[in-house]
Structure 1
């Protein structure tokens, strides 16, 4: 499995998160990486940047894992976790900051697209995986993505974010994506399907 990730940091990140993330969220994170890495091939990224991209994709929803369920929004908790992971591997602070931003802003449309390449690539991976820009997926990439089943990711991820927000409402500010999910849940708590704000 780890042969698909760039460099030792990407492989180590996979080994780290696969024991922490819900299987559906892990598969989603791998699909985000496959999409983002394909797009990164059209850019002139340094080797270390490609490694950092793998870490950013694999950690982008790490804040939903119990191990990283701190008091901040799940995006920020995941960003902090990834930055610390890279610090342990002596990545340059500038690159760590770029990874932090990529994860912290991945649910922020209109902002992520105006930031640096790592942030744009993670955002692209997320939006493509959730179907908003399917033109980015050719037959070869589609074949690769199908190896990692969706397994109800929209329900799993939405429920993970909401369950944290119910316990700690400060993790879901009203104007944020978690806030929208929480509001939709509170308006229709009997819904067992995809959150209406997803």
Structure 2
């Protein structure tokens, strides 16, 4: 397939990029952009690009904004996935995105850490979760032809440690942000107990490192 590092254009895409780049640390912002490219490549690999449910602009919104709850705009009053979904929905509404599409993006972001659920909530939720997962090394072979190009444009910058630090910091702000068995809550408990989380321990298995 033809592949390029071109991003969607227009006021909404510009607002998405500006929001991420000014509220998240650079390693998390780069992770979010890589997730978009990886999700596109997965969609091409699985023959989804012509699917009626495939929408590149919504995929850009969901993947690039999926960790907004770890950034400076998040208050730590709810799970980072939910705060990020709420923040993303607010941004989309400011740009008159139809409510049905806002809801799809909200769901994809809110469920991106929920294995076994996101995959069953439609193509956008599936691609968002799997695009994020590829950046952690899951099904890396699908993007092996293009990953060097993507990483050159958006380097990792110790992504796993930076992302875990951001999730844990916000999870520590309130009980509502760290419920039992939610990713933020479990990472917070692991960090407090052992000083290192299971996500950081498994980062070495990622073919691209941390």
How does the TM-score come out when normalised to structure 2?
0.84
CA distance in 2, matches of 1:162, 1:195: 12
Structure 2: stretches of 5+ with no match in the other structure? 204-210
Q: Deviations over 1:76-128 (max 9, x none)?
A: 11101111111111111111110001000001111111111111111011110
CA distance in 1, matches of 2:123, 2:171: 30
CA gap 1:79/1:7 in 2 versus in 1, 3 angstroms: same
> In the alignment, does 2:85 pair up with 1:85?
no
How big is the shift at 1:6? Answer: 1.9
> In the alignment, does 2:25 pair up with 1:22?
yes
CA gap 1:102/1:194 in 2 versus in 1, 3 angstroms: closer
Task: Return the match for 2:107 from 80, 83, 101.
Answer: 101
* SS state at 1:96 partner: helix
Which protein has greater RCO, CA pairs closer than 8 Å, 6+ apart? 2
Instruction: Tell me the equivalent position of 2:6.
Output: 4
Q: Deviations over 1:33-85 (max 9, x none)?
A: 11112233432256992111111111100101121224111101110111111
| Contact 2:58 2:101 (C-alpha < 8 Å) held by counterparts | yes
CA distance in 2, matches of 1:76, 1:193: 22
CA gap 1:196/1:93 in 2 versus in 1, 3 angstroms: same
| Contact 1:32 1:129 (C-alpha < 8 Å) held by counterparts | yes
Q: Where in structure 1 do 4 or more consecutive aligned residues deviate above 3 Å?
A: 45-48, 191-198
CA distance in 2, matches of 1:90, 1:64: 25
Instruction: Tell me the equivalent position of 2:57.
Output: 51
How does the TM-score come out when normalised to structure 1?
0.89
* SS state at 2:29 partner: helix
| RMSD of Structure 2 on Structure 1 (CA) | 2.3
Structure 1: stretches of 5+ with no match in the other structure? none
Q: Deviations over 1:116-162 (max 9, x none)?
A: 11111110111100002112213134322332111111111111111
| Contact 2:53 2:123 (C-alpha < 8 Å) held by counterparts | no
> In the alignment, does 2:154 pair up with 1:151?
no
* SS state at 2:33 partner: helix
